[in-house]
């Protein structure tokens, strides 16, 4: 069975997980097990539910129509049952994304929806809504000499001194075709994230080996009529509000009953890590300018 | 003002540039009451747009970039069903999607999710002028989108748009998809009538949505959402929803302005494609005509 390290956790998986970095690990020692098995259509007594999911205690059932059902339990186990005609490759994208995000929440982790890059043991996280350009900016920063830490799921933990760190992902960067072309990364292009989709795994040139300290969080936003270009510090109340919004699948932890832990984690994080709003036009032509401005800003902290 | 106890969504539906934003600002001012006029950049509205990618991902927990547009449409029906089930009281939701059905035959917007729909319609020749500004394109390109029976917004290109794919079906296709469907009771409001007599137009729409409001409350909200007020705010601080690089969002809002902008060929291109529906809705395709048929004289147009 292949083993992987994902967001700081060791994972044994019956499914091949393209884009995840294999790990030599003795059998039976993994933090998380991903297996094929029977997954019910519904949970008997869900305490909360949504259009694609049901939750009961520490178990969450996720249904992706025509693709697979996933049972994510106790922050340890992910069981997968493919729908007829679906492929392992397609299902794996939802194991690495949503299922892992939910599992990390079950473990009480602080998970941001964003990418992170590092240099000399210090990291920044780049957050923003889907399509904001997080991965593209992270790729451009890596091309500029920074180390890749994580993409999509950014898990924040604490070191022995209580300082925030970001766990190296163990998964590769994911980029749309246009970004690959614009950043001239065709040589590093790997498998598509999902068959027939124009989004691909990219082999990073250098990856952070250990968990770097998280020194700043930048929230990417598009410049507009009322939002001027630049980098602006967020006030503490704004930062707390945005931290909630930038979490991976906001609202889920509150449903799991982790609101108090969330507030405690936010307070610890914001004691060490500054939060900024990075406003720029979404345009490949100014990507290099954004990289320069961001690096200069980070250096000045 | 008290909210009706009946749960459910009211779709505030329209093609683009047909008065949807003005209607939303009116609703925000109605809710604000004497605290208005509201800041157009901070509407604090309970209205959100049905096609928001962020809200779809928050509700489904899925990465929309890993789903096909048709898969997303299948799920959207369930998203609104859950939202309707969770909604405590009346909630207006803006929607630019045409009224369509998923491959499984379910309404895109879910079944029994809404108590009513208010459909805003505007002379397509005025829409074309406004749409060209909005999309930073030429009037010809705007007309092409309005004439495309398979037209859509937010289609998957190389990356992700902030909105999900929205099928428009062209201007005629959009209007008829909403007016002819029988799932949701729909009240049509012509933008031109709303401009000419906002008290009557907004009042009738609110009554249809079973949203109680007094005449005085409606009048105040209309004053607070007056075009002069919206233009004043936009000129002072800008408007976050503006997409045009050159023109303000709140331009003139005038009915019939197309006569000074469209060429005869452009007007003809719209009229040839949409003439039957334009005549049904009281937008005479005789370009020399200078007046709209009053709504009260319309038959069979809801």
The pLDDT score that the predictor gives to residue B154 is 81
For residue B50, the distance in angstroms to the closest alpha carbon of chain A comes to 15
- Name which residue leads in pLDDT, A105 or B251: A105
Q: Which two tokens stand for residue B43?
A: 């509407």
Look at residue B1 in the predicted model and tell me its pLDDT: 37
Residue pLDDT, tens place only, B131-155 = 999 988 999 999 999 999 999 988 7
Length of chain A: 301
Of the two residues A246 and B15, the one the predictor is more confident about is: B15
Q: Which residues contact B167 (CB under 8 A, 6 or more apart)?
A: B97, B98, B100, B150, B151, B152
pLDDT value at position B164? 93
Least confident of B52-66, B114-128, B139-153: B52-66
Could you report the per-residue pLDDT of A272-298, keeping only the tens digit for each? 999 999 999 888 888 999 999 999 999
CA distance B182 to B174: 15
Residues B277-286 have pLDDT tens digits of: 999 999 988 6
Residue of A nearest to B81 (CA): A51
| Chain A residues touching B230 at Cβ < 8 A | none
Give Dmax (Cα) for chain A: 56
Among residues of chain B, what percentage have pLDDT more than 70? 88
Distance from CA of B39 to the nearest CA of A (A): 12
**Residue B156 pLDDT exceeds 70:** no
pLDDT surpassing 80 at residue A218? yes
**pLDDT of the residue at B287:** 53
- Cβ pair B160:A130 closer than 8 A: yes
CB-CB under 8 Å, B57 with A130: yes
Residue that wins the pLDDT comparison between A147 and A29: A147
CA distance A50 to chain B (A): 6
Going by pLDDT thresholds of 50, 70 and 90, the confidence category of residue A253 is confident
Please state, in angstroms and rounded to a whole number, the distance separating the CA atoms of residues B270 and A192: 42
A64 touches chain B (CB under 8 A): yes
Residues B167, B13 contacting (CB under 8 angstroms): no
More confident residue, B209 or A22: B209
The confidence score (pLDDT) of residue B302 equals 43
Instruction: Please report which confidence band the pLDDT of residue B6 belongs to, taking 50, 70 and 90 as the band edges.
Output: low
* Least confident span in A144-148, B2-6, B62-66: B2-6
Query: Which of A225, A249, A250 minimises the CB distance to B240?
Result: A225
Reported ipTM: the value is 0.88
How many Å lie between the alpha carbon of A251 and the closest alpha carbon of chain B?
Answer: 8
Q: What is the pLDDT of residues A53-92, one digit of tens each?
A: 999 999 999 999 999 999 999 999 999 999 999 999 999 9
SS3 content of chain A, % helix, strand, coil (to 5): 30, 35, 35
Average pLDDT of every residue of chain B: 87
Is the Cβ pair A249, B239 closer than 8 Å? no
- Domain A110-299 belongs to what architecture? 3-Layer(aba) Sandwich (3.40)
Nearest CA in chain A to B235: A225
Token digits for B302? 């809801």
- How confident is the model over A238-267, as a mean pLDDT? 85
Contact indicator for B166, B96 with CB cutoff of 8 Å: yes
- Structure confidence at residue B292 as a pLDDT band (50, 70, 90): low
For residue A208, pLDDT over 80 is answered with no
pTM: 0.88
pLDDT reported for residue B3: 41
pLDDT score, position A76: 96
Contact B63 A227 (CB under 8 A): no
Contacts of B50 in chain A (CB under 8 A): none
In A, which residues are within 8 Å of B165 by CB distance?
Answer: none
Which residues have C-beta within 8 Å of that of residue B205, sequence separation ≥ 6? B23, B118, B187, B189
Whether residue A64 and residue B238 make contact (CB cut-off 8 A), yes or no, is no
pLDDT digits (tens, 9 = 90+) for B77-88: 999 988 876 656
Question: What local confidence, expressed as pLDDT, does residue A2 receive?
Answer: 76
Enumerate the CATH 3.40.50.300 domain ranges in chain A, comma separated: 110-299
- How far, in Å, CA of A100 to CA of A115, rounded? 15
Contact A52 B158 (CB under 8 A): no
Q: Identify the residue whose tokens are 């800008």.
A: B238
Lowest mean pLDDT among A19-28, A42-51, B256-265: A19-28
Residue carrying structure tokens 């998957």: B156
DSSP letter for each residue of A212-233: -EEEEEEEEEE-BTTB-SEEEE
Structure tokens at B20: 């949807």
- The conformation of residue B1, written as its DSSP 8-state character, comes to -
CATH of domain B9-123+149-238: 3.40.50.300
């Amino acid at each position: 069975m292949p083993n992987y390290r994902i967001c700081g956790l060791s994972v044994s998986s019956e499914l091949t997980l393209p884009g995840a970095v294999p790990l030599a690990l003795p059998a039976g020692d993994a933090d998380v097990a991903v297996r094929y098995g029977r997954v019910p259509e519904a949970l008997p007594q869900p305490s909360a539910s949504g259009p694609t999911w049901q939750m009961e205690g520490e178990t969450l059932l996720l249904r992706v129509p025509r693709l697979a059902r996933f049972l994510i339990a106790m922050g340890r186990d992910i069981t997968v049952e493919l729908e007829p005609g679906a492929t392992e490759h397609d299902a794996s994208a939802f194991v690495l994304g949503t299922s892992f995000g939910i599992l990390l929440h079950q473990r009480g982790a602080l998970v941001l929806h964003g990418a992170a890059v590092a240099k000399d043991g210090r990291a920044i996280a780049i957050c923003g809504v889907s399509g904001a350009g997080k991965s593209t900016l992270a790729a451009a920063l890596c091309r500029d000499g920074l180390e890749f830490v994580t993409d999509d799921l950014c898990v924040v933990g604490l070191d022995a001194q209580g300082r925030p760190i970001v766990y190296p992902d163990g998964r590769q960067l994911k980029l749309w075709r246009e970004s690959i072309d614009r950043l001239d990364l065709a040589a590093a292009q790997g498998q598509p994230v999902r068959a027939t989709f124009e989004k691909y795994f990219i082999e990073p040139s250098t990856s952070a080996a250990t968990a770097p300290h998280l020194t700043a969080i930048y929230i990417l936003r598009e410049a507009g009529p009322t939002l001027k270009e630049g980098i602006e510090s967020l006030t503490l109340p704004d930062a707390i509000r945005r931290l909630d919004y930038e979490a991976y699948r906001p609202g889920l932890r509150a449903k799991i009953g982790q609101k108090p832990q969330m507030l405690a984690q936010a307070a610890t994080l914001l004691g060490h890590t500054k939060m900024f709003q990075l406003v720029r036009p979404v345009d490949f032509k100014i990507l290099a300018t954004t990289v320069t401005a961001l690096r200069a800003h980070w250096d000045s902290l | 003002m008290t909210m009706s106890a009946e749960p459910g969504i009211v779709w505030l539906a329209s093609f683009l540039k047909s008065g949807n934003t003005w209607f939303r600002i009116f609703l925000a001012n109605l809710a604000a009451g004497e605290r208005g006029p509201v800041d157009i950049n901070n509407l604090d509205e309970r209205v959100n747009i049905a096609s928001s990618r962020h809200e779809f991902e928050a509700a489904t927990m899925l990465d929309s970039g890993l789903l096909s547009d048709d898969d997303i449409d299948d799920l959207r029906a369930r998203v609104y069903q859950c939202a309707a089930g969770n909604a405590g009281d009346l909630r207006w939701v803006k929607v630019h999607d045409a009224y369509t059905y998923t491959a499984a035959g379910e309404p895109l917007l879910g079944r029994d999710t809404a108590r009513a729909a208010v459909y805003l319609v505007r002379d397509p020749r005025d829409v074309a002028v406004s749409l060209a500004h909005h999309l930073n394109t030429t009037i010809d390109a705007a007309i092409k989108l309005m004439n495309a029976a398979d037209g859509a917004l937010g289609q998957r290109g190389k990356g992700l748009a902030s909105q999900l794919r929205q099928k428009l079906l062209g201007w005629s296709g959009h209007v008829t998809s909403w007016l002819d469907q029988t799932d949701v009771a729909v009240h049509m409001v012509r933008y031109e009538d709303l401009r000419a007599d906002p008290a009557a137009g907004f009042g009738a729409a609110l009554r249809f949505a079973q949203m109680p409001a007094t005449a005085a409350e409606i009048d105040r909200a209309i004053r607070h959402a007056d075009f002069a007020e919206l233009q004043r705010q936009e000129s002072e601080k800008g408007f976050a929803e503006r997409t045009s690089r050159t023109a303000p969002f709140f331009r003139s809002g005038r009915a019939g302005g197309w006569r000074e902008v469209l060429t005869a060929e452009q007007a003809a291109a719209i009229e040839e494609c949409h003439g039957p529906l334009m005549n049904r809705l009281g937008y005479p395709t005789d370009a020399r005509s200078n007046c709209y048929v009053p709504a009260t004289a319309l038959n069979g147009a809801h």
